[in-house]
Structure 1
Amino acid sequence: MKLRTWIAAALLTVPGVALAAEPIEGNWKTASGATAVIAKCGGSFCITLKTGKHAGKRIGKLEGAGADYSGSITDPETDKTYSGSGTVNGNSLRMKGCVLAVLCKSQTWTRL
């Protein structure tokens, strides 16, 4: 076996080395108690509510990697969209939405 092929095969068998999902991907319990799923959609990450009054509704689209993401977040109650961001810290996700980058609200979601 050629060295390059062996290295590629070895990397694919080591857990967490190849094909690792971004930390933001997965199921999250929102501040309201609903469950949201964050998954890849194109080159971004889409946020869709899975449970609750607005189940099935997409409420955001973020881009980024590692711990920091930014994009847009929609309030499902009012259908208003804001500039938003998300910061992952272990099993916590701090979501923030802002109007004109001055009036901001944030909440913390927990990984399920």
Structure 2
Amino acid sequence: MPVTRILKVLTSVAVIGFVAGVASAQDARGLWLTQADKKDQVAQVESVPCGAALCGTIVKVFDGSGTQISHPNVGKRVFWDMQPIGNGKYEGMAFVPAHNKNYRATMQVMGSEMLVKGCLGPVCQSQLWQRVQ
């Protein structure tokens, strides 16, 4: 195989690898750690495909010292029907356990962080989650 053809193939493989890496960096699937709540507790949320969308469930809760604790919110679905809309953005629904309410919500993946925002009418709240895995 001529050297120029080999270089073209290697360049194509490198570009495909880079694009795949960028796509996965904007993917909301995986484990995420929420911001601390008023009790200084954080939750680990697992985001998985459910149909063409993503759903997220609390799988672990930790106290302020980082110790895993038993908590009634473990197993609760905190977001669902999160549809990708491009550039690491998702739209769907979220449940906020502290309010015991469902909200229209968005998620924006930015590398190892994800901005999760829920709104009820013009009033919105957001959290910045950290990727665990």
Matched, 1:59 2:63: no
Q: Within 2, Cα distance between the matches of 1:36 and 1:49?
A: 4
What is the count of residue pairs matched by the alignment? 98
Contact 1:23 1:66 in 2 (8 A): no
TM-score after normalising by structure 2 = 0.66
Secondary structure of 1:24's match?
coil
1:49 to 58, 61, 76: 58
Higher helix proportion: 2
Matched, 1:36 2:45: yes
Tell me which residue corresponds to 2:30.
26
| SS of 1:34 mapped into structure 2 | strand
**What is the RMSD computed on CA atoms of the aligned residues?**
2.0
What TM-score results when the alignment is normalised by the length of structure 1? 0.77
Q: Could you tell me how far apart the structure 2 residues matched to 1:94 and 1:78 are?
A: 19
AA aligned to 1:91 is S
Provide, for residues 21-61 of structure 1, a one-character-per-residue CA deviation record: whole Å limited to 9, x for no partner.
66100000011321001010111100100012211111111
Aligned to 1:88: 109
Find the structure with the greater CA-based Rg: 2
State percent identity of aligned pairs. 28
Offset at 1:78?
A: 3.2
| Distance in 2 (alpha carbons) for counterparts of 1:96 and 1:85 | 5
Distance apart, 1:98 and its partner CA: 0.2
SS state at 1:23 partner: coil
| Unaligned stretches of 5+ residues in structure 2 | 1-12, 37-41, 62-70
Secondary structure, aligned partner of 2:35: coil
